[in-house]
A and B are shown apart, each in its own frame.
Chain A
Amino acid sequence: MAPTVPSAAKSASPSQPSGKSEVADLKQQLRQLAGSRASDADDQRRDVFKRVISCMTAGIDVSAAFGEMVLCSATSDVVTKKMCYLYVGAHARAHPDLALLTINFLQRDCRDQDPTIRGLALRSLCSLRVPNLVEYLVTPLTTGLKDPSAYVRMIAAVGAAKLYHISATACIDADLPASLKALMLSDPDAQVVANCLHSLQEIWTLEAANSEAAAREIETLYSKPVVFYLLNKIKEFSEWAQCLVLELASKFLPSDNNEIFDIMNLLEDRLQHANGAVVLSTIKVFLHLTMSMTDVHQQVYERIKAPLLTLVGAGSPEQSYAVLCHLHLLVMRAPMLFSSDYKSFYCQFSDPSYVKKLKLEMLTAIANESNTYEIVTELCEYAGNVDVPIARESIRAVGKIALQQYDVNAIVDRLLQFLEMDKDYVTAETLVLVKDLLRKYPQWSHDCIAVVGNISSKNIQEPKGKAALIWMLGEYSQDMHDAPYVLESLVENWDEEHSPEVRLHLLTAVMKCFFKRPPETQKALGATLAAGLSDTHQDVHDRALFYYRLLQYDPAVAERVVNPPKQAVSVFADTQSSEMKDRIFDEFNSLSVVYQKPSYMFTDKEHRGPFEYSEDLTNLAVGTEAQENVISAQRYQENDNDLLLSTSDKEDDGTRASNGSATSTYNAPSDLIGSSLISSQTPAETSLINTGGPTYSSQSNFSLDDLLGLGVTETPAPPPPPALTLNSKPVLDPGTFQRKWGQLALALTQECSLSPQGAASLMNPQSLIRHMQSNYIQCIASGGQPPNYKFFFYAQKDGATAFFLVECIVNTASAKAQLKIKADDGAAAEAFSTLFQSALSKFGLS
């Protein structure tokens, strides 16, 4: 509760006077006032206090006056008291010894007859954050929770959580959680109830890590009696507390459909609430409750559409931003949902850029056959009409839509019109898109080439655009009659070309051109190789050398490497796994949606909420390395306009390939090999060469890991013996598990049931983990909250290397478990599944 940390503020504004003399002066005045009984003493005190606080705010160190301030604290004036509390709160942490001085008067104020003073004193007392004063805190808190004034109870409820953060044991020993819970279910004041809930969630979540009892308590928070009790009172809560209760309700697992409908009927009117945060929270409840009922889930989408669209249009740009982030997530799950409302996402001139950007993303996401024409028309207006970054974004958006659609006829025309606009950045962006389009739709090459051929390379300054143009010159040199000469003139200006990316493209393009039109290009080729060999950039140099030696070795081979037959690209990379998307959806209405990543990626462990899975699991879901890649890939997508993954000449390919998602069927690997042989920046790239295979299927990815020495063994196991026995001590590290899970196809999906005793005894993940271990099935990660748990198990066949991987989601309320089994040896999966289920069904019976 420190309003300013003096040192921080001071160093931030070094020009501030140190105020030493002023502090001394204030001290003097305070000392005089301390004993004064003059009639105007209160007014004077208030005046001096105000000056102290103003010095403090300005960053002057006033801690020297601590003693005097405490002396003067005996006053009945509330404002003076407030200032005094403020002062004490700011300095107690830095001066724990002095803080002891304040305890006395704070404790006395906690017993004041005025509830306002009781409340304020209690709040200050709890906010001192000095560990050795904890003993003085417990009694005022316990009495505070029973105070006749709701104001004091409300402060005491939050105070309990503050105490927990200072000293967990003190809080638990005083049995405060139990009092909070009792208060939550009985207090007539809504804010007291809400604050109890806040505190209980915090305390039990943190406590659950080392106590099973706390884990059970969390479960009771999400139980029917508590949730229904709070929901029935929902109208009494403030808007912010309503969000809290709704968040709780979204975690509730109804036992039957009637409960679902009861809740939805009860909350229907919340969708009309003026506060957008309440509306979003309600939407979360509806979506999560109806997950299992496909029809109703769809109806929910229909129902929430209108409120969401209003929120986008009305209110502050910040709110539009938050809502648009959520809409984007929803559209990913239900693309048809907003396809007829595309006009709501047209940009206004006055929208801030961050809103415009999200709107463009929405327009891209909802484009389909019926609305493409209008959306693209609108996007084309932005290309010439608004500020440059948004114009670029909208050109990219047009490109993305073109790559999604089957009928790209009209779009290609538009793109070509962009080229005629004769604006540098428009041309550059468009060239990159045309290049990508050509790779997907080679049938358009004639139309495009005709236009592209007219563009003078001298007018393009941006490396990306220039590289794209050069790529096209090389690729379609037989159709562009002056290609060799354009390339030649570019080579002449080799030294003026600053971007290594462009130089790399130029090398390859000249090579390609040479094999198509040898007599015209021969001279240019010589010049290029010479320039390349003397280039200072390592990659350029290496690639030139590679081409040179390749030509020396055998021109026919060189041609096969540089100009292989090409197939159109059909698959695009999805930067996010569906698991990741589900995880984000679980965290609907939080920062996860804004950042488009699950919360474990941006919060520290101790700040994670009660709803996330455990640390192990998060490591598992995305191994650290992969995690990096996903983020970079996302960033990449934002920053870059190259939409296709295995762009042969891109330097980022190495990292992408190791991401394991580079499974596109682009069949022109020789270029890639060429570049990686030379540049070989990452181990992954080197290994690509070693595999040498022309297709990067998941199979080759697999061996890729192998070659990287990551210890994955993929020797197919022999057909399984009828009875499957498991290795009693299999070893698998989380990283390998993660990779395998990503690579292996799903062998089996099954639902099975637990024994009722088993379900009842599953209070925390550990019990089941131990049980499964005794059956030679190891757990690699677990997490979740009652009644839903999620486990990842693995087992190894005895005497073989093949692993079985299981994702097991247990719902203790319904005593059901959902299994997803993946196996190195698919044939044995069935037998393993039987084994696993029998082990699971015995849980709780022993």
Chain B
Amino acid sequence: MAGAVSALFLLDIKGRVLVWRDYRGDVSALQAERFFTKLLDKEGDAEVHSPVVYDDAGVTYMFIQHNNVFILTAARQNCNAASILLFLHRVVDVFKHYFEELEEESLRDNFVVVYELLDEMMDFGYPQYTEAKILSEFIKTDAYRMEVSQRPPMAVTNAVSWRSEGIRYKKNEVFLDVVESVNILVNSNGQIVRSDVVGALKMRTYLSGMPECKLGLNDRVLLEAQGRATKGKAIDLDDIKFHQCVRLARFENDRTISFIPPDGSFDLMTYRLSTQVKPLIWVEAQIEKHSRSRIELMVKARSQFKERSTATNVEIEVPVPSDATNPNIRTSMGSAAYAPERDAMVWKVKSFPGGKEYMCRAEFSLPSITAEEGAPEKKAPIRVKFEIPYFTVSGIQVRYLKIIEKSGYQALPWVRYITMAGEYELRLI
């Protein structure tokens, strides 16, 4: 069997069942609860545990955590693990769409809707519709405002499952954000061991009817296909992935990205760039420990991009020993503070123009007596967060975004570019 799950549970942080839906009647809530609470007890931290666990009684539990809620499936069949885990994330998205935030309280307050949603998202253990937009036409949050006559939305029954007919907006607008996150890993010798860029074209559409959209990018492959020169601005993207609305066959043929967009926000396209990039913000840190009584930090941060760009909201997290006290911090720019809950000093710079270098010095006291058998400390890397607006590492550019609807309205496309830090780690200490 393609792997139907037996039941879906929503559990609180201690592993107690809040709501559950039994799809096949072959698992027991009590057993699941007992097993899962034991699991949580054993490890204290579910992070340690893999998201797929087997209980020796033939039941596989797959779970994810979101805020203070665990979403867990129990299955007796040999399921498609990747698909179920992804489905759970989709369930979270749907709940978030409904209740703003998915947490224990919102579930308790809305259990009727929760039941309704669980019923429509899965039937007899098989995933059904998981698009929040579609479901929300079908299941209204506020039961009292619901119209008496209800019919299943068109989208459930037509070929464009991600968009319903009859959507109306006064002002037709499209927002397209090109977001690139830079992942970088620098080892303790200051070498870049790994770097890549993950990009996404995030769209928010407020369009009436069934609009046809066409997007043009400066993809090298695209330009080559059209026989134009490829030097300079063109780029080559690894492994492009599209939202299901994009006509992939069309992209394969002539590299046009054409689609009927879902209503609201979605990721139109994601891509990866594995070419080595220069770290946009380079951080160096020197740490001196003075005879167990105090520790001195000197952190240097340098921006390595063109001067016309500016990084904003730069946040540099430098780990310090967990028993450090009495911080004394000076910075040449921005502000820095000790964040004991993270065992780190966090240095924030609101605006960091290209080609600049700033400094931060800090001194902490250390207790003169330390526990003899202290747990070996977990050495954290320096982590950096930043955003650089109007800039992309890959150089990707939107050449055009055309919107055609049969009613012939004019829609406004807005395009923004931003680069931000993803997993940006420097193991320099």
A590 touches B81 (CB 8 A): yes
Cα distance A309–B274 in the bound complex, in angstroms:
10
Closest to B121 in A: A240
A593 touches B81 (CB 8 A): yes
Cα distance A608–B78 in the bound complex, in angstroms:
7
Within A180-224, the residues touching B (CB, 8 Å) are 189-191, 194-195, 198, 201-202, 205
Cα distance A353–B86 in the bound complex, in angstroms:
19
A343 touches B194 (CB 8 A): yes
Cα distance A83–B116 in the bound complex, in angstroms:
9
> Is the CB of A548 closer than 8 A to any CB of chain B?
no
> Is the CB of A354 closer than 8 A to any CB of chain B?
yes
B240 touches A272 (CB 8 A): yes
Q: Mark B33-74, 1 if CB is under 8 A from A, else 0.
A: 100000000000001111110100010100010000000000
> Is the CB of A574 closer than 8 A to any CB of chain B?
no
Whether A604 touches B80, Cβ cut-off 8 Å, given contacts A3-B20, A191-B156, A310-B239, is no
B80 touches A277 (CB 8 A): yes
B244 touches A239 (CB 8 A): yes
Cα distance A355–B85 in the bound complex, in angstroms:
14
Taking the closest CB of chain A, its distance from the CB of B29, in whole angstroms, is 5
A319 touches B85 (CB 8 A): yes
Which of B52, B124, B148 has most chain A Cβ within 10 Å?
A: B124
Cα distance A344–B196 in the bound complex, in angstroms:
9
Task: Chain A residues near B152: list those with CB within 8 A.
Answer: 115-116, 119, 149-151
Task: Chain A residues near B196: list those with CB within 8 A.
Answer: 313
A2 touches B78 (CB 8 A): no
Cα distance A374–B138 in the bound complex, in angstroms:
55
B85 touches A322 (CB 8 A): yes
Task: Chain A residues near B22: list those with CB within 8 A.
Answer: 1-3, 5
B112 touches A114 (CB 8 A): no
Interface size on B, residues (CB 8 A): 100
Which of A9, A195, A272, A307 has most chain B Cβ within 10 Å?
A: A272
Taking the closest CB of chain B, its distance from the CB of A120, in whole angstroms, is 8
- In the complex, which of the residues B51, B60, B198, B378 contacts A313, with contact meaning CB atoms closer than 8 Å? B198
A348 touches B423 (CB 8 A): yes
Task: Chain B residues near A590: list those with CB within 8 A.
Answer: 3, 78-81
B159 touches A268 (CB 8 A): no
Task: Chain B residues near A348: list those with CB within 8 A.
Answer: 183, 185, 423, 425
> Is the CB of B330 closer than 8 A to any CB of chain A?
no
A281 touches B80 (CB 8 A): yes
Closest to B128 in A: A191
Q: Mark A319-360, 1 if CB is under 8 A from B, else 0.
A: 101110110000000000000000110101110111000000
Cα distance A321–B85 in the bound complex, in angstroms:
10
Taking the closest CB of chain A, its distance from the CB of B50, in whole angstroms, is 4
A: interface residue count bin: 35 or more
Cα distance A326–B130 in the bound complex, in angstroms:
25
A9 touches B29 (CB 8 A): yes
A591 touches B198 (CB 8 A): no
Task: Chain B residues near A11: list those with CB within 8 A.
Answer: 30
- In the complex, which of the residues A8, A270, A587 contacts B78, with contact meaning CB atoms closer than 8 Å? A587
Task: Chain B residues near A385: list those with CB within 8 A.
Answer: 188, 379, 381, 427
B427 touches A381 (CB 8 A): yes
B81 touches A57 (CB 8 A): no
> Is the CB of A318 closer than 8 A to any CB of chain B?
yes
- In the complex, which of the residues A83, A243, A323, A389 contacts B112, with contact meaning CB atoms closer than 8 Å? A83
A604 touches B76 (CB 8 A): yes
> Is the CB of B163 closer than 8 A to any CB of chain A?
no
Closest to A270 in B: B248
Cα distance A116–B89 in the bound complex, in angstroms:
27
Task: Chain B residues near A226: list those with CB within 8 A.
Answer: none
Task: Chain A residues near B240: list those with CB within 8 A.
Answer: 272
Segment at the interface with B among A72-80, A651-659, A791-799:
A72-80
Cα distance A82–B143 in the bound complex, in angstroms:
11
Q: Mark B222-251, 1 if CB is under 8 A from A, else 0.
A: 000000000000000011111110001101
B29 touches A388 (CB 8 A): no
> Is the CB of B368 closer than 8 A to any CB of chain A?
no
Task: Chain A residues near B18: list those with CB within 8 A.
Answer: 57
Cα distance A277–B198 in the bound complex, in angstroms:
19
> Is the CB of B322 closer than 8 A to any CB of chain A?
no
> Is the CB of B341 closer than 8 A to any CB of chain A?
no
Taking the closest CB of chain B, its distance from the CB of A590, in whole angstroms, is 5
B81 touches A274 (CB 8 A): no
Cα distance A481–B193 in the bound complex, in angstroms:
43
Task: Chain A residues near B47: list those with CB within 8 A.
Answer: 352-353
B381 touches A349 (CB 8 A): yes
Cα distance A2–B17 in the bound complex, in angstroms:
14
Task: Chain B residues near A86: list those with CB within 8 A.
Answer: 115
Taking the closest CB of chain A, its distance from the CB of B318, in whole angstroms, is 13
> Is the CB of A724 closer than 8 A to any CB of chain B?
no
> Is the CB of B414 closer than 8 A to any CB of chain A?
no
B48 touches A354 (CB 8 A): yes
A12 touches B16 (CB 8 A): yes
> Is the CB of B123 closer than 8 A to any CB of chain A?
yes
Task: Chain B residues near A46: list those with CB within 8 A.
Answer: 143-144
> Is the CB of A416 closer than 8 A to any CB of chain B?
no
Closest to A600 in B: B78
> Is the CB of B175 closer than 8 A to any CB of chain A?
no
Cα distance A158–B122 in the bound complex, in angstroms:
11
- In the complex, which of the residues B17, B116, B198 contacts A314, with contact meaning CB atoms closer than 8 Å? B198
Cα distance A354–B49 in the bound complex, in angstroms:
6
> Is the CB of B214 closer than 8 A to any CB of chain A?
no
Taking the closest CB of chain A, its distance from the CB of B274, in whole angstroms, is 8
- In the complex, which of the residues B19, B150, B194 contacts A116, with contact meaning CB atoms closer than 8 Å? B150
Closest to A59 in B: B17
Task: Chain A residues near B238: list those with CB within 8 A.
Answer: 306, 310
Taking the closest CB of chain B, its distance from the CB of A610, in whole angstroms, is 7
Which of B24, B85, B238 has most chain A Cβ within 10 Å?
A: B85
Q: Can you list 15 pairs linking A and B with CB atoms under 8 Å apart? A: A2-B22, A53-B112, A79-B143, A123-B119, A158-B124, A239-B244, A240-B126, A274-B243, A314-B270, A587-B78, A591-B81, A592-B78, A602-B60, A603-B58, A604-B76
Those 4 A-B pairs whose CB atoms lie nearest each other, nearest first: A269-B248, A277-B83, A240-B127, A354-B50
Given contacts A195-B126, A201-B2, 5 further A-B contacts (CB under 8 A): A9-B29, A50-B112, A385-B381, A590-B79, A608-B78
